[in-house]
Amino acid sequence: MTALPYDSVDPEQALKYAIQHHVSERVQIVEGIVEPLASGWDDEAAASRLRSQLNDRVRALDCVMGAGDLDLPGSSNWFVPDVAVVPAPLTRDGGALLPEQTLLVVEVTSEADGDTDRVVKPRRYAEYGAPLYLLVDRRYGTCTLFAEPGPSGYARTLGPLPFGTPVDLPEPFGLRLDTSGL
């Protein structure tokens, strides 16, 4: 077997391949930095409360809700959101999806990744076309809904709204989220 010269290896693809196939724990790549996913039970409880409110509508839309991999091609980013809603047919191949293929992405901040969720992810999710991004900021007790993505960010932002203030998700969801207890 002939070895390929080092300069023929795409560093972005090599890094993304490595985290998918050779790392024993789930990780994401944020601006080229490999970060372990370290959700606490309190973060999981908040995500679970949101999932339970979304569940019926997700089924009605023939979607799947989970924490699957999102690739941001052309960048050194590979995100694993706390919750993503995607059309069921897109999940059958088992690979990573693109943010533009989601209907909703939710990130619940933790002490370890709060700044990433507040600063990097809104910019990158907008750039890669995620139609809705809901930031549940547990440090500040707020929710912010970002909509209308574009290359320079989201055109519409609702919030930050204090926990307890309902968040109205636009169509195709058309439902009001109860944010008390997050």
Residue of 8 and 157 predicted with greater confidence: 157
Q: Where are the domains of the chain?
A: 39-177
Q: pLDDT-based confidence at 13, cuts 50/70/90?
A: confident
Q: How far apart are CA 90 and CA 96, in angstroms?
A: 10
Residue 9, CA distances (Å) to 5, 13, 92 in order: 7, 8, 29
Which CATH number describes the domain made up of 39-177? 3.90.1570.10
Q: pLDDT-based confidence at 31, cuts 50/70/90?
A: confident
